[in-house]
Chain A
Amino acid sequence: MAEPLLQVSGVEVEFPARRHTVHAVRGASFTLEAGHSLAIVGESGSGKSTTAHAIIDLLPGTGRVTGGSIRFDGQELVGAPKKTFVALRGAQIGLVPQDPMSNLNPVHRIGRQVRESLKANGIDPKRSTYKALVSLLGEDDIPDTPDGRLYLSAHGRAGLVEELRQRETVIVAQTGRDAFEKALDKELVVGFTTRMEVQALLHRLGLDDAAAVAEKYVTGTGLNDRVAGLLAEAGLPDAARRARQFPHEFSGGMRQRALIAMALAARPRLLIADEPTSALDVTVQRQILDHLGTLTRELGTALLFITHDLGLAAERAEQLVVMYKGRVVESGPSLELLTDPQHPYTQRLVRAAPSLASRRIQEAKEVGATAEVISVTGGAAKAVSAVEPGVQPVLHTKDLTKVFRIRGARPGSYTEFTAVDQVDIDVARGTTAALVGESGSGKSTVANMVLSLLTPTSGLIEFEGEDLSKLSPKELFDFRRKVQVVFQDPYGSLDPMWSIFRIIEEPLRTHNVGDARSREARVLELLDRVALPASTMRRYPNELSGGQRQRVAVARALALNPSLVVLDEAVSALDVLVQAQVLELLGELQRDMGLTYLFITHDLAVVRQMADWVYVMEKGKIVEQGPTDDLFDHPETDYTKRLLDAIPGGSLNLGGWTKGA
């Protein structure tokens, strides 16, 4: 058997620090065959990114590989000179970095940055260069460009289009107008369509002299055309114009596509994708991953995928490597790992991953299983409307609208932006209503208005039957006692200067509840509720992990026995296991204390485990609503369908519950 493309064995990575050395990776081993795909899965700090960066010698700071061996294409990389890596990077191994926002140079045009990745690897698709080379070698035929193709140039395309227009009547007569227009419109992409493809297309259009025409017009491209082609290949529409734009004119998804174009520009044999989509909206994430998968398969590029999402990894890669605290705890074929995890850590991870849990519920339903499947809320009876008729909802909004003024170019001028557009929401006591949408859908604006931190432009918010806009300052103060909030960022939501005791005591003190001693007793009780030891109260937020901080935030929210808790992306920033733990805690608290949650999130997989009723928001409007199960089983709008499709792991067959298995 030939040597695998990438063989990592027993790799150790250390970060020497003044006090003690951090062993970020301890004896990681895995193998990736050419043209195949492998995913490294783990939570933050597991060493997954460090392992990947060790392969291309891009370890940050003081990090260095201290042991083991990394063989790429038969070449030992551990201890190799810098020159080796410079030659490998880009040309042989491409990298799609994690954060599309900070990985493009804001002062250079996108096209220039893609061009750089071509130039840096010595790729000049210009035909003239090869012509010179050919005459030098004394050969007749023009050789292929380094990546094996000759591309259509902008000039060539113009000529070809003109040629086709002249023969329009003939072609339309043979193949119909649609095929002709489609060919002109979509199938001739500058810098992307090859001579062979043009020839095939012309042949399909019924031209007798397809080969001659193709040879005449497809003569290779200059750098700029090729850059546009690469961007088009990465899925950017209108690539030639886009190439002249700056990164700030691009959305996150478009930037990530540009980065993919750069990584694949030199046709590397291995592509490392380091959490390429975790900063993007779910639907964009899916598009980009689909595209990346198709591209790497077509180009025969091996894909090393790094992610924290087990479902995503299993769906996108053939092999899985699970890392925990710098060690590989389990590795093997994806499905086998999911259906039959052996290591206790993998088992936990498989149990906790929301995408997989969601998939399991789906599969269980397909065979008609009942509610004993994983559901944090414990399978409460599902209602037909958000609120039973005649029962007063905890929260009720009617035609809730918020319009923001965006300052215009001239002083005093402004444009209006409707962030929330006539939103009607009802949340019944003791249930969880989820408000789902992507970034910019207006869901957080709704949350802020419900919390009375923002004044609605128009519309009604009723809390326990009282109109929020008519509350006196005194009543508003009482309202604040009954409605609490938990925010997304566990690092920002606790005052770093305050001890945990003071943080949890603040609501009690603000609302003059009890005396000093009874408040302390209450803080201890709350800490116990969120499963933190009593000694936590003398600590400060900077000493706690993200999950622990989030539990403190939950304790603070519960201090005043609220009627409604707004969870604004409360678990989105947490690692999978910790996320599952916090979700479980929230479910438990709801059962014990009859809490009502308004759960605001972009993550439908989590919603499936948490919510009783789901509202789907798009561009400020509620586009669909219904009981969780109904909505997941029979989504009606395209938007909801797209959101559901975007849950990773949807195509997985986890076995066990499926009929055929």
Chain B
Amino acid sequence: MPETDLTHPVTDVTDLATQPHFVADWDESTVGEIDALDESVPPASLWKEAGRKLIRRPTFIVAALMIVVILAVTIFPTWFSAGDPKAGCLLANRFGPATAGAPLGFDQQGCNVWTFIVYGARPSVLVGVLAMLAVLLLGGTIGALAGWYGHWLDAILSRLGDIFYAIPTVLAALVFLNSQKGKGGTTMVFLVVGVIAVFAWPQMARITRGAVLSVKSSDFITASRALGVSNRKILLRHVLPNAAAPMIVVATTSLGTYIVLEATLSFLGLGLPLSMHSWGSQVASAQGLIRNHPDQLFYPSAALALTVLAFIMLGDAVRDALDPKAAR
């Protein structure tokens, strides 16, 4: 191959007939209507798409099955065990082996361990779900206001969040709940939920604020403003639905942590009263038996771990399905 001839400047197009004029076969179907809409595909919203993606994920299927079982246990404990766990405790059965009605055997008091585990689900899940909703409401509102209105409101709310973020939740709960000892079961549920919400909202607020800020600069927001839609309506109708995805992801993932937090507080004797048989207090009462009867400690811990795992897996699957990078 000779070196390229530099002395041959290419100016005249006609002396360049190196390639013949090629024309592909005319196939009318290849040149369709310009930008026509394909009406054969059924319409689908982003949420529908996400849902379709979600139900194909093995993680989601496993997590969803587990959560269905957990919720069923929470709502209808009598379907899974025979009534009040305190009833039918016989000291004769103390640390007795598994029987037909008591698949996990009996505890120190001769009570049915399985019934305890089943009844322990309700307070744990209840506190977890209520705390999540409270955090969603509190953190979501504060974050949305800070992100949307900006300026000094943002500065104040963000710093406020930082302050709460800096306080260790367990420590604060210890101090506060210690003064509330001896209150009734329902009151304690709301107190625990309240404490969790007050100290866990900054994370949700940060996520919401970020999501709102990124939606805020979109053209469709400007378009709505140019239409004369009020600020509040834009926030509620356009901004929040578009910022919902990351909020939902954080909410589902942190639900598990709230359940753990409740268990921690109950373990320390500050959370729910013993009469509610929360898994945390079950772990607490079994801790002395760890040498001779480790299974007594294992069962409530396993129930707790599986529940938390289920919600975190759900959160992961939801995150993957709502990932904005995977969309479009």
Contact = CB atoms under 8 A, between A and B. Distances in A.
Is chain B a partner of chain A in the same complex?
Answer: yes
A31 B18 contact: yes
A536 B26 CA distance: 31
A319 interface: yes
B1 interface: yes
A319 B13 CA distance: 9
Given A330-B22, A497-B45, A532 B219 contact: no
Nearest to B239: A495
Nearest to A574: B35
Interface stretch (B70-78, B89-97, B222-230, B284-292): B222-230
B138 to A, nearest CB: 23
A492 B21 contact: no
Given A495-B238, A497-B242, A487 B222 contact: yes
User: Main SS of chain A's interface residues?
Assistant: mixed
A492 B24 contact: no
Given A2-B2, A495-B238, A510-B228, A328 B24 contact: yes
B179 interface: no
Given A30-B19, A327-B30, A451-B226, A493 B220 contact: yes
A36 B328 contact: no
A145 interface: no
Interface in B198-229: 218-220, 222-229
Q: Which of B39, B227, B327 gathers most chain A CB within 10 Å?
A: B227
Contacts of B241: 495, 497
A73 interface: yes
A334 B229 CA distance: 51
B10 A543 contact: no
Contacts, number: 170
B224 A333 contact: no
Contacts of A319: 16, 18-19
A506 B226 contact: no
Contacts of B229: 506, 510
Contact of B19 (A332, A539, A542, A547): A332
User: Main SS of chain B's interface residues?
Assistant: loop
A538 B37 CA distance: 13
B45 A507 contact: no
Contact of A492 (B14, B20, B220, B225): B220
A511 B230 CA distance: 11
Given A487-B219, A536-B37, A542 B328 contact: yes
Contacts of A556: 223
Contact of B34 (A332, A487, A491, A581): A581
Interface in A484-513: 484-485, 487-489, 491-499, 506-507, 510-511
B58 interface: no
A126 to B, nearest CB: 24
A60 interface: no
Interface string B220-258: 101111111100000000100110000000000000000
Interface string A200-216: 00000000000000000
A332 B21 contact: yes
A657 interface: no
Contacts of B31: 324, 344-345, 348
Interface stretch (A152-160, A381-389, A396-404, A475-483): A475-483
A487 B223 contact: yes
Contacts of A538: 43
B219 A343 contact: no
A174 B43 CA distance: 82
Interface size class of B (residues with CB under 8 A): 35 or more
B23 interface: yes
A586 to B, nearest CB: 15
A103 to B, nearest CB: 20
A36 B18 contact: yes
B20 to A, nearest CB: 7
Contact of A493 (B3, B22, B219): B219
Contact of A495 (B18, B41, B220): B220
Contacts of B21: 330-333, 336-337, 342
A334 B21 CA distance: 10
Nearest to B222: A453
A636 interface: no
Contacts of A496: 46, 242
A532 B45 contact: no
A547 B225 CA distance: 23
A36 B37 contact: no
A300 interface: yes
A345 B19 CA distance: 20
A630 to B, nearest CB: 32
Interface string A299-325: 011100000000000000011000011
Contacts of B100: none
A498 B218 CA distance: 14
Given A332-B22, A453-B226, A577-B34, A297 B10 contact: yes
Contacts of B225: 453
A548 B224 CA distance: 19
B160 to A, nearest CB: 22
A476 B228 contact: yes
Contacts of A511: 227-228
A483 B226 contact: yes
A528 B35 CA distance: 15
10 contacts: A37-B10, A329-B24, A330-B24, A480-B226, A483-B226, A495-B241, A495-B242, A511-B227, A547-B35, A581-B34
Interface of B: 1-6, 8-10, 13-14, 16-24, 26, 28, 30-31, 34-35, 37, 39, 41, 43-47, 49, 218-220, 222-229, 238, 241-242, 327-328
Given A301-B4, A548-B35, 6 more contacts: A31-B18, A319-B19, A333-B21, A343-B26, A345-B31, A497-B242
